[in-house]
Amino acid sequence: MNKLFSIGFWSAVARFILRNRTLIIIFIAAMTVFFAMQWKNMRFTYTEANLLPDDHKYNEEYQEFLDKFGEEGNLIIIGIKDSTLFTPTNFKAWTKLSKDLSEYKEVELSLSIGDLQKLEKREDTAAFQLVPFINDSVLDSEKLERYRYELFNKLPFYEGLVYSPNKESVRTAVYLKKDIVNTPARRDFIINDLIPLIDAFESETGIKVYTSGMPYIRTLNSQNIIDEIRWFIGAALLVTSLIFFFFFRSFRATFISTLVVIIGVMWSFGVLGLLHYEITVLTALIPPLIIVIGIPNCIFLINKYQQEIKLHGNQAKSLQRVIAKIGNATLMTNVTTASGFATFILTQSKLLKEFGTVASINILAIFLLSLFIIPIAYSYMAIPKYKHLKHLNKRWIGKFVSWMERMVREHRIAIYITTIVLLCTSIIGIYNIKLSGSLIEDMPKNKPFFQDIKFFEKEYEGIMPLEILVDTKRKKGVMNLATLKRMDELQNYMEEIPELSTTLSVVQLVKYSKQAYYNNNPEYYQLPNSQERTFILSYAKSSANDTNLLSSYVDSTGQYARITTFMKDTQTERFDRIEEDIRSQIEKIFPSDRYNVSITGKAFVFEKGTKYLVNNLLLSLSLAIFLIALFMAWMFRSFRMILVSLIPNLLPLLITAGLMGFLGVPIKPSTILVFSIAFGISVDDTIHFLAKYRQELIANHWKIKKSVYAALRETGVSMFYTSIVLFFGFSVFTISSFGGTVALGALVSATLLFAMLANLLLLPSLLLSLERSIANKQTFRKPTIQILPSSDEEVEEIEKEEQENTNA
């Protein structure tokens, strides 16, 4: 009765679709227009992906830092390593560049050699005053050389800020207004104003300018992502369509399939706009994911339609049976895949929740699009000609199917040995996998801005901001000499770490105050002693109030201070050791009853977020495996079938993980999704195969060998087509300039082949080897859902009954 209901339901669905073709087309067109109108709400993220939940400890500490000091990633640096800078013409042009930049409304402050100021002791009061470092209106080479010597040798306060520790390069610091750092205004300023000014300076002087800083890096990186998303979606569609056409030799089939996935991609962008989600490192993967899910749907539906046409030549019956016989299996595959991605919604990460929501919605949407569009499109077209069906009789396809049968029939032991060897090798590779939380690792290595990053890493010993927030637990506690000495001790320790740059804090300002008090003698660039404390600190406080120098390093209450440093691109294991060492020093230097000291900053939060993301994705993947196992148990009503079906699905994941270990591809946000995509595809193939296998078992009266080979012959071609199309579709991404995109494309492509072979060789081998212990009426009970009707006769019986009821 359950079986008859299932067949009757899908027959009713088929009638509904074919009888309401015009209304369905209008509905799809209207929905496409609606989603296209939502594109205006799409926006690319203007900050790094926040991988941590809002209530996570490290996120709360970072938010506390931002509340006290505002956005720390507002610094753009422009550097030069050229001795000809200190010639009158070039120096004038360099100073003019800084002055021009400072006049833009987006710029808070521009700090260059030409507009540097230095502290001098005032004679009329106990305070300092800022005077211009360069006070000559006319500069010649001799004066410039004198200023150069004074800067490099007598003003250590500006080391790491204006000139490099090796004294070979100088830079201009451009501080953007903090309220525009994470807005489109930042991009407009950098693209339309900053870059043209720098280009003009290079053309005028012939001096190479290096530009970096988090706002600049993020802007150019985001622009590259925007450009490549468009290009790769188009390229993936082109390659997928060409391979699809090569198999089916039908312009109609290729056009219809391409139309389905294009509409699916349009809907996916529309859902992002409708929900007002940002396009992030994860949500940017959804359009190619829709191609991944959409193409298999199209292949299975079109292949079945052409098989039916070849069998009896009746178009109406063929379209009816495509929906009735493939619709349920396709629904099951899409539901299992969508449920796998929906598990991300259960995590605490906003980024993962948004990705899981949009991905699961659009996976179900692409199923409906393929189920509606393909039968309706073919219903308006003529019956496929013989040339369109020739691919069903291709000799090489027949040879491939025969090879699979022969391997399963005669070489099962070889298949098992190969599986065990691959499994053991993969486990070895898994132990070599590294975790990467680098902000710049995936950036295009061949782009000029990445070369600029490496320049500043070398010259200034770091580029990624790392912050230490010191809470003295009392107002005005920062300017206490004991606190300053503790901060100085921690800074001295941090400067011994080769991955960290020169540190900056209020300590440098106090040291500079003492140097200024002693007539700018660089030998006195140090903290005051106990005898000097009273008058030096009073000078420093007074001058800080007058010049607002403290605002960047001490909050308005004087209770909180920051220590800023910049970190090189560092491996996660080394980063963890650095963090552990710094925390150990903090515990020694700052008593916990008097101070609260936390490590924060963009680089730190991103590193911790990557670990959190990996843990959540592993948890989500485990939950997805569990849910899909329950789902298959519900469908097939056999515990042993669950175990048999999971083995060929998990094996490709392990092989891919092993490959990542051997090839040195780290686990990071851009590669971790490989496992979710691979598992979803593997499960699709398994469900199609097992559904057909059970159908053949019943039709062949539980003759196992005959059923396995029949299922292999019918589903093998579609699974082969699907895997090859997707292999080449994802291979397109390997020509990306982004490391993460290259890794994603290569790993998914490889995993698809492993999944196909596992489902076409290992799964049938297991079914044959276990034989009666799995496939009998006691252990392989009637499924809760009839995935496929067991025979054409049953479909005809239902159709006949329904026709009689209709006539009555």
Q: How many CA atoms lie within 13 A of 644 on its CB side?
A: 26
Q: How far apart are CA 277 and CA 357, in angstroms?
A: 10
Q: How far apart are CA 479 and CA 535, in angstroms?
A: 13
Among 130-139, 265-274, 282-291, 733-742, the least confident range: 733-742
Contact 608, 437 (CB under 8 A): yes
Identify the residue whose tokens are 């067949």. 7
**Portion of the chain with pLDDT greater than 70, in percent:** 85
Q: What is the DSSP string of 603-619?
A: HHHHHHHHHHHHHHHHH
- Predicted confidence at residue 783, as pLDDT, reads 47
Distance set, CA 392 to CA 72, 476, 672, 792 (Å)? 62, 82, 37, 20
**Is the confidence at residue 787, as pLDDT, over 50?**
no
Vertex 566: Cα angle to 562 and 567 (nearest 5): 130
Q: How far apart are CA 129 and CA 513, in angstroms?
A: 10
737 Cβ partners below 8 Å, 6+ apart? 224, 228, 444, 445, 446, 447
Q: How many other CB atoms are there within 10 angstroms of residue 458's CB atom?
A: 14
The average pLDDT across 739-765 equals: 82
DSSP three-state, residue 1 = coil
Confidence of residue 45 (pLDDT cuts 50, 70, 90): low
19-41 pLDDT, tens digit each:
888 999 999 999 999 999 988 88
Contact 348, 616 (CB under 8 A): yes
Contact 645, 685 (CB under 8 A): no
DSSP three-state, residue 211 = strand
- Torsion, CA 33, CA 35, CA 41, CA 45, rounded to 10: -130
556 Cβ partners below 8 Å, 6+ apart? none
Q: How far apart are CA 518 and CA 507, in angstroms?
A: 17
The average pLDDT across 265-272 equals: 92
The average pLDDT across 9-13 equals: 79
Angle between helices 481-494 and 572-589 (to 10 degrees): 150
The average pLDDT across 347-357 equals: 80
Which tokens is 214 given? 């988090």
The secondary element (H helix, E strand) that includes residue 563 is strand 560-567
The dihedrals phi and psi of 205, each to the nearest 5 degrees, come to: -105, -20
Identify the residue whose tokens are 């800023």. 564
Confidence of residue 5 (pLDDT cuts 50, 70, 90): very low
Burial class (CB within 10 angstroms; exposed 0-12, middle 13-18, buried 19+) of 60: middle
DSSP three-state, residue 78 = strand
Instruction: Read off the pTM.
Output: 0.75
Distance set, CA 679 to CA 286, 345, 474, 715, 748 (Å)? 16, 18, 54, 19, 10
Confidence of residue 803 (pLDDT cuts 50, 70, 90): low
Identify the residue whose tokens are 């219903």. 379
Nearest CA to 729 out of 126, 257, 78 is that of 257
- Predicted confidence at residue 46, as pLDDT, reads 60
- Predicted confidence at residue 4, as pLDDT, reads 45
Q: How far apart are CA 213 and CA 211, in angstroms?
A: 7
Contact 506, 561 (CB under 8 A): yes
The dihedrals phi and psi of 785, each to the nearest 5 degrees, come to: -115, 135
Residue type at 806 in one-letter notation: T
Contact 358, 286 (CB under 8 A): yes
Provide, for the chain, the percentages of residues in helix, strand and coil under a 3-state DSSP scheme, each rounded to the nearest 5. 70, 10, 25
* Top-confidence range, 66-70, 202-206, 394-398: 202-206
Among 208-217, 416-425, 680-689, 799-808, the least confident range: 799-808
Confidence of residue 1 (pLDDT cuts 50, 70, 90): very low
Identify the residue whose tokens are 């092989």. 655
Contact 776, 713 (CB under 8 A): no
- Predicted confidence at residue 667, as pLDDT, reads 80
Which tokens is 34 given? 């609606």
Which residue ranges form the domains of the chain, and what is each CATH number? Answer: 1-41+249-393 (1.20.1640.10)
563 Cβ partners below 8 Å, 6+ apart? 467, 468, 470, 487, 490, 491, 494, 503, 504, 505
The secondary element (H helix, E strand) that includes residue 253 is helix 251-274
Nearest CA to 254 out of 199, 299, 222 is that of 299
Identify the residue whose tokens are 């890493």. 457
The average pLDDT across 603-625 equals: 77
The average pLDDT across 514-542 equals: 76
Nearest CA to 726 out of 708, 706, 750 is that of 750
Which tokens is 766 given? 């297991």
Classify the C-alpha dihedral 664-684-767-412 as positive or negative.
negative
N-terminal to C-terminal alpha carbon distance within the chain: 22
Q: Give the CA radius of gyration of the chain.
A: 33
Which tokens is 525 given? 């660039």
Q: How far apart are CA 694 and CA 795, in angstroms?
A: 16
Vertex 491: Cα angle to 488 and 493 (nearest 5): 110
186-239 pLDDT, tens digit each:
888 888 889 999 999 999 998 999 988 878 887 877 777 777 777 777 777 788
Angle between helices 506-517 and 533-547 (to 10 degrees): 110
Q: What is the DSSP string of 257-319?
A: HHHHHHHHHHHHHHHHHHTT-EE-TTGGGHHHHHHHHHHHHHHHHHHHHHHHHHHH--HHHHH
The residues that bridge with 111 in the sheet, in sequence order, are 173
Q: How many other CB atoms are there within 10 angstroms of residue 33's CB atom?
A: 11
533-582 pLDDT, tens digit each:
776 666 566 554 444 456 678 888 889 999 988 888 777 788 889 989 99
**Is the confidence at residue 364, as pLDDT, over 60?**
yes
- Predicted confidence at residue 541, as pLDDT, reads 60
Q: How far apart are CA 225 and CA 211, in angstroms?
A: 19
Between these two residues, 315 and 584, which has the higher pLDDT value? 584
Which tokens is 160 given? 């790491």
- Predicted confidence at residue 264, as pLDDT, reads 92
The dihedrals phi and psi of 690, each to the nearest 5 degrees, come to: -70, -35
Distance set, CA 364 to CA 297, 357, 358, 472, 634 (Å)? 11, 11, 10, 54, 20
Q: How far apart are CA 438 and CA 434, in angstroms?
A: 12
Distance set, CA 675 to CA 232, 649, 682, 752 (Å)? 21, 11, 10, 11
Vertex 409: Cα angle to 406 and 413 (nearest 5): 105
Burial class (CB within 10 angstroms; exposed 0-12, middle 13-18, buried 19+) of 164: buried
Angle between helices 572-589 and 602-636 (to 10 degrees): 120
The mean of the pLDDT values for the chain is: 79
The average pLDDT across 58-85 equals: 83
Q: How far apart are CA 789 and CA 798, in angstroms?
A: 10
- Predicted confidence at residue 2, as pLDDT, reads 44
- Torsion, CA 793, CA 799, CA 801, CA 802, rounded to 10: 160
110-166 pLDDT, tens digit each:
888 887 878 777 776 666 677 888 877 777 888 888 888 888 888 888 888 888 888
Helix ranges (DSSP H) in 637-703: 639-663, 673-699
- Predicted confidence at residue 48, as pLDDT, reads 60
Confidence of residue 355 (pLDDT cuts 50, 70, 90): confident
